Structure 1
Amino acid sequence: MTLGIDWGIVGPALIAGLLVLATHVPLGLQVLRKGIVFIDLAIAQIAGLGVIAADALGWEPQGWAVQASAMTAAVAGALLMTWMERRWPDIQEALIGALFVLASSVGILLLAGNPHGGEHLKDLLVGQILWVTPGQLWTEAGLTAVLLALWFGLGPRLGRVGFYLLFAVAVTASVQLVGVFLVFSSLIMPALAVRHATARWQLPLAWLGGALAYALGLALSAVLDLPSGAVVVLVMAGVCSGVAVGLSLRRAAA
């Protein structure tokens, strides 16, 4: 242990964060180009609703039935958003935001009679990144490899439906590792930070900024004994703001 940091706990959490970034950075850059920023919040919340519903049915936490419930909910949400994009493209972002609110409200109602409902809701939003298990990391690593192979191998050939389905799978897995707030931050903040970078450097700079934020945020939360998810979100905002300012200054000086 150094400076109050137990790397036996922080190390796996950092690996979890890097795995989430691996898929969410390229997805986030595409989301920003498409102008559908709320999509990850909506799908993450819908996947979380699947987890809450499974818990309400008394299914084993972390079991395959819960994973299937979350994935089914997320895929259904992704297909619905695909249809909405074709049917009402001009109000798509508003509809996605409405889906997020609806999924959140249904989740709160399902937890209303649960004495631990507040704790479950907090875990869904903020996550428990410090308590990831080796099994979760191996599963996430395998899934990440498959998703990246599909993303970089097929690219535009994925089409609208393929993009939404791949997005749903990535978010469903990551929200159970790090929570809704970190999923949104990992997807949007690095992408926003590098919007003024050249296309060639956007992906590596976004990955690097996100990785630095996870490392600093987790270390700081361990030293200060503060909730890790919230600290990482704040640190990521600071790091990504610094990257954005640096790129803007470089662009102005060019």
Structure 2
Amino acid sequence: MLDLDLLPILIPAFVAGLLVLSTHVVLGRQVLKRGIIFIDLAIAQVAALGAIVSHMDHSIEELPFSHVWMPALFALVGAGFIAWLSKRFADELEAIIGCFYVLSAVAAMLLLSNDPHGAELLKQLMSGQILWVNWSQLVLPAIVSAAILALIVMKPQVLDGAGFYFLFAIVITLSVELIGVYLVFSTLILPALALNKYQGKGLLALAYVVGFVGYIAGLILSATYDLPSGAAIVAALAMSAILMRVFLSMKASKTASSLSN
């Protein structure tokens, strides 16, 4: 049974999840549309690499907000590189992005190989520490998420051009800081994949439902059974996406059967 004393921890974590979902559901659909599934992993890993470089260089680490602007700088450079690649190697883009991710991950491992706290830092960046998010950490992501959503609403064409990659880099940088690389990837892809074949109304709303259910179920499972929060939420998101896809498939079959009769 859920311990109500954990609510002061769970509520900020859930709000962090909602903030991430607010932008990732929209961007995830664009990722599937472009067929560049690995871009979120690649950019998230590059942002994590920036955080590691900041950690390794104490002169950078001591600068104000280096934990934000250093990963953002790496992510923006990575996004610019992928945007350049998309115009010149479109037919091989997904494979190159996959290689880009692997090279970034290897670079992170090499940089931390002699750091006594390297394994812990790498685990934190990959799996995230969503349960330890506090309200002050949510201020900047909330402002940036609201600004990006407003831009998308006012100028939806921004998602079709190269500007998509730079918006993506900014969003991913903030998300990795809050929830880690694995959960960033799952939040982008699973709600979008759940609705990928759906042609009816309320597509975005249903995608948000998938994410909402996944986050709240994952956090409750994590708190109740003392499970790693990131892994529990990823598993819950996957189950939520599968159930939504099965439900919509059954609904479509039922509708088709009714029409044929």
Task: Give me the TM-score of the superposition, normalised by structure 1.
Answer: 0.96
8 A contact 1:82–1:160 mirrored in 2: no
The answer to whether 1:186 aligns with 2:149 is no
Tell me what 1:214 maps to.
215
Shift of 1:135: 1.4
Based on CA coordinates, which of the two structures has the bigger radius of gyration?
2
Alpha-carbon deviation of 1:122? 0.5
> Which residue in the other structure is 1:56 paired with?
56
Provide the secondary structure at the position in 1 that maps to 2:202: helix
Quick check: 1:196–1:247 contact (8 Å CA) kept in 2?
no
After the TM superposition, list the runs of 4 or more consecutive aligned residues in structure 1 that deviate by more than 3 angstroms. 59-63
Contact conserved, 2:129 with 2:178, CA < 8 A, in 1? yes
Partners of 2:101 and 2:233 lie apart in 1 by 23
User: How many residue pairs align between the two structures?
Assistant: 253
**Aligned to 1:141, what secondary structure does the other structure show?**
helix
Task: Tell me, yes or no, if structure 1 residue 92 matches structure 2 residue 93.
Answer: yes
Q: Please list every run of 5 or more consecutive structure 2 residues that lacks an aligned counterpart in the other structure.
A: 256-261
1:42 aligns with 2:45: no
Cα displacement (A) at 1:201: 1.7
SS at match of 1:36: coil
Shift of residue 199, structure 1, vs aligned partner: 5.5
8 Å CA contact 2:125, 2:177 repeated in 1 = yes
Task: Decide whether the 8 Å contact of 1:55 with 1:61 is kept in 2.
Answer: no
Matches within 5 A, 1:128-143: 128-143=129-144
The AA in structure 2 aligned to 1:181 is Y
Point out where structure 1 has 5 or more consecutive residues left out of the alignment. none
What corresponds to 1:9 in structure 2?
Answer: 9
CA distances 1:171-197 after superposition (whole Å, capped 9, x unpaired): 000011000011000000000001122
**What is the DSSP-based 3-state SS (H/G/I as helix, E as strand, rest coil) of the residue aligned with 1:220?**
helix
Query: C-alpha displacement at 1:159, in angstroms?
Result: 4.4
C-alpha distance in structure 1 between counterparts of 2:190 and 2:64, whole Å: 31
Q: Is the 8 A contact 1:196 1:251 kept in 2?
A: no
Q: Aligned in 2, Cα 1:63/1:242: closer, same or farther, shift over 3 Å?
A: farther
| Identical-residue share of aligned pairs (%) | 44
Letter in 1 for 2:17: G
Name the structure 1 match of 2:116: 115
